[in-house]
């Protein structure tokens, strides 16, 4: 999977050496400073986020922080064990996200935020970098693990994105596990809805989840799952189920986003980052920095962030918020977790 992308620079260098290339490549020799560094390089493994927002030490208790880190570790270990056994990137993404969806801590599955009507409406998507196949669901209300339904849409339908009642009917046809809306009730999210109603605002702390995995055969995959934004109205759908905005994967780059979805849709964030590495000489870290810290930051502060990996196992995280729940795990099986900037 990594061959074509790896070969392009080599071929380009050979052509240049033979005098066939442009004499003066547009970005060299005085390329501007391009900040952005990989957080880690791993032969195979995965990187996850649990949302970005106003996540500060003062707003966190030691117990809550320990809970977040423990759940992130458990989730990453589940994905890691699939990869360690030679399993595929898609399966690792699903296994990791399932645990995050089953936790009340994250705004996905069980811990989903409330809509303005006091209900829950969930979105998820997944994409394979190997095949370019993708599946997504939006506005589902009874699905326990929306990421699994997204995978089914990809594998067992000719469509990419199913929404609302249609998605629920498709789930019923395939015997997908459903739950009552009460399953998604958590006191913490209810309080957030009350605060948002009082302020007539959207939420400040989000905790959508996303995972990017690189398996041992070099295949990348990405997935994202969310309850959306607190107090959302009128069937609002964010970026998380939109391929190219919330989730994207190709043979050399995979991204999952979190943040104010409207901005991530308008800027086609996940695809743009990958495209920049494909069509220019930006590294993944530089492409992520250019999108999150420059392009989005110029539009508004505190919008969110991304996690990403390239085909060489470079792990990149970038966010313009005070914090982003995040972590990665490589072949040694030691999960790293981080929360604050």
As annotated, the active-site residues are 208
Q: Does 261 bind ligand ASP (CB under 6 A)?
A: yes
Q: Does 107 bind ligand ASP (CB under 6 A)?
A: yes
Query: Quick one: which segment of 67-75, 131-139, 158-166, 226-234 binds ligand ASP (CB under 6 A)?
Result: 226-234
Size of the residue set binding ligand ASP (CB under 6 A): 15
Q: Exposed, middle or buried, 86 (CB in 10 Å: 0-12/13-18/19+)?
A: exposed
Structure tokens at 45: 């493994």
| Secondary structure (3-state) at 11 | helix
Q: Does 239 bind ligand ASP (CB under 6 A)?
A: yes
What CA–CA distance (Å, rounded) separates 273 from 250? 11
Pairing of strands 323-329, 45-53: antiparallel
Q: Which residue is listed with tokens 């032969």?
A: 43
| Secondary structure (3-state) at 202 | coil
Q: Give the residue with the Cβ less far from ligand ASP, 45 or 228.
A: 228
Contacts 24+ apart (CB under 8 A), 22-26: 25/281
Q: Give the residue with the Cβ less far from ligand ASP, 12 or 116.
A: 116
Q: Give the residue with the Cβ less far from ligand ASP, 215 or 239.
A: 239
Query: Which residues 142-201 are close enough to bind ligand ASP by CB under 6 A?
Result: none
Q: Does 258 bind ligand ASP (CB under 6 A)?
A: yes
Contact 93, 225 (CB under 8 A): no
What CA–CA distance (Å, rounded) separates 151 from 144? 14
Q: Exposed, middle or buried, 105 (CB in 10 Å: 0-12/13-18/19+)?
A: buried
Q: Which of 192, 240, 247, 317 binds ligand ASP (CB under 6 A)?
A: 240
Mark 12-51 with x for binding to ligand ASP (rule: CB under 6 A) and - for no binding. Answer: ---------------------------------------x
Query: Quick one: which segment of 68-76, 94-102, 233-241, 321-329 binds ligand ASP (CB under 6 A)?
Result: 233-241
Query: Quick one: which segment of 60-68, 130-138, 170-178, 253-261 binds ligand ASP (CB under 6 A)?
Result: 253-261
The contact set with ligand ASP (CB under 6 A) reads 51, 107, 206, 208, 226, 228-229, 238-240, 258-261, 304
């Amino acid at each position: 999977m990594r061959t074509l992308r790896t070969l392009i620079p080599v071929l380009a260098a050979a052509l240049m050496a033979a005098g066939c290339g442009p004499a003066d490549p547009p970005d060299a020799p005085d390329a501007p400073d391009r900040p952005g560094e990989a957080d880690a390089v791993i032969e195979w493994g995965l990187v996850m986020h649990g949302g970005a927002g106003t996540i500060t030490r003062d707003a966190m208790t030691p117990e809550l922080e320990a809970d977040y880190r423990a759940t992130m570790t458990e989730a990453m270990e589940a994905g890691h064990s699939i990869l360690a056994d030679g399993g595929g990137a898609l399966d690792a993404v699903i296994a990791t996200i399932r645990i995050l969806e089953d936790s009340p801590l994250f705004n996905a599955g069980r811990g989903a935020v409330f809509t303005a009507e006091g209900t829950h409406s969930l979105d998820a998507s997944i994409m394979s970098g190997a095949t370019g196949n993708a599946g997504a669901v939006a506005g589902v209300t009874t699905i326990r693990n929306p990421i699994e339904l997204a995978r089914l849409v990809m594998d067992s339908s000719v469509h990419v994105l199913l929404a609302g009642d249609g998605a629920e009917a498709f789930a019923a046809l395939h015997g997908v596990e459903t739950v009552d809306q009460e399953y998604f009730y958590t006191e913490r999210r209810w309080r957030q809805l009350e605060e948002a109603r009082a302020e007539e605002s959207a939420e400040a702390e989000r905790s959508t989840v996303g995972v990017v995995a690189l398996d041992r055969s070099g295949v990348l995959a990405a997935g994202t799952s969310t309850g959306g934004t607190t107090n959302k109205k009128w069937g609002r759908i964010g970026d998380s189920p939109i391929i190219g905005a919330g989730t994207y994967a190709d043979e050399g780059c995979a991204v999952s986003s979190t943040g104010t979805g409207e901005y991530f849709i308008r800027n086609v964030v996940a695809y743009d980052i990958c495209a920049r590495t494909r069509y220019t000489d930006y590294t993944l870290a530089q492409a992520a920095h250019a999108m999150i810290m420059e392009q989005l930051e110029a539009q508004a502060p505190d919008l969110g962030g991304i996690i990403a990996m390239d085909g060489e196992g470079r792990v990149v995280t970038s966010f313009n918020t005070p914090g982003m729940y995040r972590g990665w795990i490589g072949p040694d099986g030691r999960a790293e977790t981080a929360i604050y900037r």
